[in-house]
Amino acid sequence: VTAWVLHVDLDEFIAAVEVRRRPELAGLPVVVGGSGDPTARGVVATASYAAREHGVGSGIPMRRALRLCPEAVFLPADHPAYDAASAEVMAVLRATGHPVQVLGWDEAFLGLPGVAAAGPDGPERVAEQLQRDVLAATGLHCSVGIGDNKLRAKIATGFGKPRGRFRLTEENWWAVMGDRSPDALWGIGARTARKLAALGISTVAELAATPAQDLAEALGPTMGPWYRRLGRGVDTSPVDPTPYVPRGLGHETTYPTDLTDAAEVTAALGVLAGRVAADLVEQDRWAERLVLKVRFAPFDTRTRSRRLAEPTRDEEVLATTARGLLADLDDARPVRLLGIRTELTAPPKAENQGKDPQK
């Protein structure tokens, strides 16, 4: 039985990885995103804390980041470097022997059985040791949320940043969360918060007190009741250490300048199909459905999808299918973005995993 859940989240992960290999950047405003050129199209992936003091944050356009903080060091995203650093961190977490559920490059849940947290200081001791171990092994700082379930642990982390810990349980849930806006919850964003506000629900406590049926009618039979559970901090899902198996795979590109020529668009779809096919081969997976995404200038986005006649990883089949879907749109406006995503067939049964998929 799991007594506690820890949520480990690296502090300014991408910026920290860049600073780690270029120590002269320590303490400076560092902004990573897009091509690294702050005058080109792209948004900020991560900003160092020094850059955040100028108002630069994840998701804002690089051009705006340049205006807010002209002295910042701008760098392109280097995915292989972040993959490698992430693997170092996850290895430290797994070395504890506790189940680890990876959420992304820089986050994971750990399940602590009762005995591991039975000491006089509870799970804080385990969290502190983890922070020391991660720092010693990787040079990276992290924050840890401590909860009686995954939802509360995940939310708690934000209150512990940077380099700290915070405990959020049934006991202090209402004191900490009750008066906050519902979008403080993991799973409720700006759009849903606005819909809730229109229903007269503007705090977590009000959300928790709303009958599930009212929420189901307004927000859907699955989502409505789920939002109510979020409001109460209820989450029964286990820490699941099963290795992640992707269900889809794709690539998309926002072009430096809009594509206006049909031949250019045709060629660009060929490039995307080639990247997707290469990944399918590399990961030994098969596509059974293809989704074409087109963003016409200035920002009107359409998708068209088609089930493939048979599972494929053939570049030409993907390109031809995507071009056919584009032709169906019958729209000659300039193109800002093209994307090809595939949905994958179930992977071949792993033989020596020792995992029971039913469990």
CB atoms within 10 A of CB 78: 16
Distance set, CA 269 to CA 273, 276, 299 (Å): 6, 11, 19
Which three-class secondary structure state does DSSP give residue 113? strand
Q: Which is nearer to DNA, 21 or 79 (CB)?
A: 79
**What is the side-by-side order of every strand in the sheet holding 300-312?**
248-259, 335-344, 287-296, 300-312
- Coil, helix or strand for 7? strand
343 is catalytic: no
Minimum CB distance to DNA, residue 74 (Å) = 14
The first and second tokens of residue 104, run together, are 């992304």
Cβ nearer to DNA, comparing 116 with 342: 342
Give contact residues for DNA (rule: CB under 7 A). 34, 41-43, 45, 58-59, 61, 63-64, 103-107, 154, 183, 185-193, 220-224, 246-254, 279, 289, 298-299, 301-307, 336-337, 339, 341
75, 22 in Cβ contact below 8 A?
no
Encoded amino acid at 81, one letter: A
Minimum distance from CB of 292 to DNA (Å)? 8
CB of 64 to DNA, least distance (A): 5
Whichever of 124 and 279 has its CB closer to DNA, that residue is: 279
Instruction: Identify whether 298 is preceded by a cis peptide bond (ω within 30 of 0).
Output: yes
Measured from the CB of residue 15, what is the shortest distance to DNA in angstroms? Answer: 13
Candidates 12, 107, 124, 288; catalytic one = 107
Count CA atoms closer than 13 A to 52's CA, side-chain side. Answer: 13
CB-nearer residue toward DNA: 85 or 193? 193
Cβ at position 127, least distance to DNA in Å: 18
C-beta closer to DNA: residue 236 or 352 = 236
Report the distance separating Cα 94 and Cα 100, nearest Å.
Answer: 6
- Enumerate the active-site residues: 107
